[in-house]
Structure 1
Amino acid sequence: MSIAYLNGQFLPLADTRVSVLDRGFLFAEAVYEVTAVIEGRLVDSDSHMARLERSATAIGLTLPLSSDAIEAVQKDLARRNKLDEGLIYLQLTGGADAGRDFLTSTALQPTLLMFTQAKHFLDSPAARTGIAVVTTPDQRWSRRDIKSVGLLAQAMAKRIAAEAGAQEAWMVEDGFITEGASSTAFLVTDEGIVTRPYSQAVLAGCTGAALTALALESGMSVTYRPFTVEETLTAREAFITSASTLCQAVVRIDGRQIGDGRPGPVATRLRQLYIDFARRTAS
């Protein structure tokens, strides 16, 4: 039986209850984080906690627990659920009001929910074969740097990808790739590694930031700039990063083969560097 955490209590996930008047439910006034767990320990937790605080502050929410206390809860959840490899999902909402109104009537107590999900990503089949990506228009709002639970556009993009037999969607705005529906997008070109710089147009990916730092430490070249759909089709390699995929090679985009159609040497090397980093630094 999976154990969750809700507002100070550990209880079976099936028994968790949140009010229908919760502002996360009514207005998507909520932010979230997903932290990887490897060998029972949290990966890159400081980066995730820093991003959670930035996102919460941006929509006027205050964390009900300190970052250290949240980490302690997550470690306890991993232990209670015997989670060796997988993910911890965290969601913070504006809390439940007396009724539905855009403005709150009083200071509300935020809702804080966390639960675990087992997932085998260290030795996933996709890591050996690579994945397919399709491009689709980016239909999101302008503050994509906030890790909002308002994921309708991303869910729609994921469905488009699935219907095309792909595993991820890269969203396009003004001819340029912004990011994946649930990942950060990268290319490998004659310049080296290319990825879009962080701004309000994209989410600052914790895994992507750690991976580019590892790449630079290893002597690889990293260029931060937007890239077009056309560039992706002639790239030497392409890959994505996220907490749930780590570093994942992309071998087809819009049905076109990338490189030789197999995970390339750069993506393969970076994936191993990140796994080594995760095992070395997980807490």
Structure 2
Amino acid sequence: MNRIIYLNGEFCSETDAKISIFDRSFLFSDSVYEVTTVLNGKMIDFDNHMKRLDRSMSELKFSKMLDHELIKKFHKDLILKNNLKEGIIYLHVSRGVADRSFNFPPKETDLTVVAFSQEKNLIENKESKNGISIMTLEDKRWKRCDIKTTQLLYPSFAKAEAYEKGFDDAWMLRDGYISEGTSNNAWIIKSGKILTRQADDLILNGITRQSVINCAKILGYNISYKGFTLTDAISADEAFITSATTFVTPVVNINGKKISTGKPGEFTGKLREEYIKNSLKTAI
């Protein structure tokens, strides 16, 4: 498939897209990104993704911000041009092109803005039906995980190690507590209560995470915003992950040990159904 992509105000074929070798995202990972879910050709949680984009750019001291209406338009154009029914739009914003230097470029430097689509089976897939297996490892990332930057080498290593060892993904441990997954937030259910780490500098406050919290409240579930240990997770009644591409996906095995029965849990299934229902209702 030769997709149409968006690059700095223009649409072009993916084979024709070119970015300078002096772009700071290439040299320093000096860039941020967002991933917006698309269902039935419509975007999920777009406004909240834009709020987080603004925050990420502000935290990295970008000298310019982007117009949300412009972003919305080229997102919708990409959906139409690529006939995207189910999948994601990836948005990437870097500080721009400048000769290599650790100092930031002049404030008038144009940002580099790239967006492209990916088709994915988000609603119907084997992971949501059967659950996934997780391994744990030490969280060695920097301490500003709340900013959605493209500095993803360690999470990539973690996921690769998990695959090599026969697991689907990895949860990271910091000071004895689960922080989050390689590209998702981590949750457990124990004695009728949902536990997820508080939103701080050491995790990304996922947009799907925020929506799932609202869904849990609609369903009448109690939520505790506190860290949980590996022992807590293994002894939980249920466990799951959330992200823009996994929605609510059950975790049935951690480090080779079954979570409860080793099958997707009832509460997790209900949360996933509620999330999808609400997402389809509010999509734009």
TM range (shorter): over 0.9
Q: For residues 64 and 49 of structure 1, what CA distance do their matches in structure 2 show? A: 11
The answer to whether residue 175 in structure 2 is matched with residue 174 in structure 1 is yes
Q: For residues 2 and 71 of structure 1, what CA distance do their matches in structure 2 show? A: 19
> 214-223 vs 31-40, which deviates more?
214-223
Secondary structure in 2 aligned to 1:178?
A: strand
> Offset at 1:110?
0.5
**Percent identical across equivalent pairs?**
38
| Residue aligning to 2:21 | 20
Alignment of 1:137-156 (within 5 A): 137-156=138-157
Whether the 8 Å contact between 2:196 and 2:225 is mirrored in structure 1 is yes
Secondary structure in 2 aligned to 1:15?
A: coil
Whether the 8 Å contact between 2:35 and 2:88 is mirrored in structure 1 is yes
The amino acid of 1:143's aligned partner reads R
> Offset at 1:63?
5.2
> Offset at 1:106?
2.2
| Residue aligning to 1:183 | 184
Whether the 8 Å contact between 1:33 and 1:52 is mirrored in structure 2 is yes
Q: For residues 176 and 19 of structure 2, what CA distance do their matches in structure 1 show? A: 41
| Residue aligning to 2:106 | 106
Q: For residues 232 and 68 of structure 1, what CA distance do their matches in structure 2 show? A: 42
> Offset at 1:64?
5.2
The amino acid of 1:268's aligned partner reads G
Alignment of 1:246-265 (within 5 A): 246-265=247-266
> Offset at 1:65?
3.2
Q: 1:76 to 1:202 in 2, by over 3 A?
A: same
The alignment of Structure 1 onto Structure 2 pairs a total of residues equal to 282
Alignment of 1:1-283 (within 5 A): 1-62=2-63, 65-97=66-98, 99-107=99-107, 108-283=109-284
Q: For residues 282 and 68 of structure 1, what CA distance do their matches in structure 2 show? A: 16
> Offset at 1:228?
0.5
Q: For residues 260 and 282 of structure 2, what CA distance do their matches in structure 1 show? A: 33
The RMSD of aligned alpha carbons is 1.0
TM-score (norm 2): 0.97
Q: For residues 105 and 115 of structure 1, what CA distance do their matches in structure 2 show? A: 26
Secondary structure in 1 aligned to 2:278?
A: helix
Secondary structure in 2 aligned to 1:203?
A: coil
Q: For residues 271 and 164 of structure 1, what CA distance do their matches in structure 2 show? A: 28
Q: For residues 253 and 160 of structure 1, what CA distance do their matches in structure 2 show? A: 14
The amino acid of 1:29's aligned partner reads D
Q: 1:263 to 1:26 in 2, by over 3 A?
A: same
TM-score (norm 1): 0.98
Secondary structure in 2 aligned to 1:247?
A: strand
Residues 93-114 of structure 1, C-alpha deviations (whole Å, 9 max, x = no match)? 01001x1111134231010000
Whether the 8 Å contact between 2:57 and 2:65 is mirrored in structure 1 is no
> 64-73 vs 8-17, which deviates more?
64-73
Runs of 4+ in 1 over 6 A off after TM superposition: none
Whether the 8 Å contact between 2:4 and 2:82 is mirrored in structure 1 is yes
> Offset at 1:62?
4.7
Residues 57-95 of structure 1, C-alpha deviations (whole Å, 9 max, x = no match)? 110125553112101110110110000000110100010
Q: For residues 186 and 157 of structure 1, what CA distance do their matches in structure 2 show? A: 18
Q: 1:205 to 1:53 in 2, by over 3 A?
A: same
Whether the 8 Å contact between 1:53 and 1:63 is mirrored in structure 2 is no
Runs of 5+ in structure 1 lacking a partner? Answer: none
Secondary structure in 2 aligned to 1:14?
A: coil
Q: 1:2 to 1:105 in 2, by over 3 A?
A: closer
Q: For residues 267 and 65 of structure 2, what CA distance do their matches in structure 1 show? A: 41
Q: For residues 63 and 235 of structure 1, what CA distance do their matches in structure 2 show? A: 45
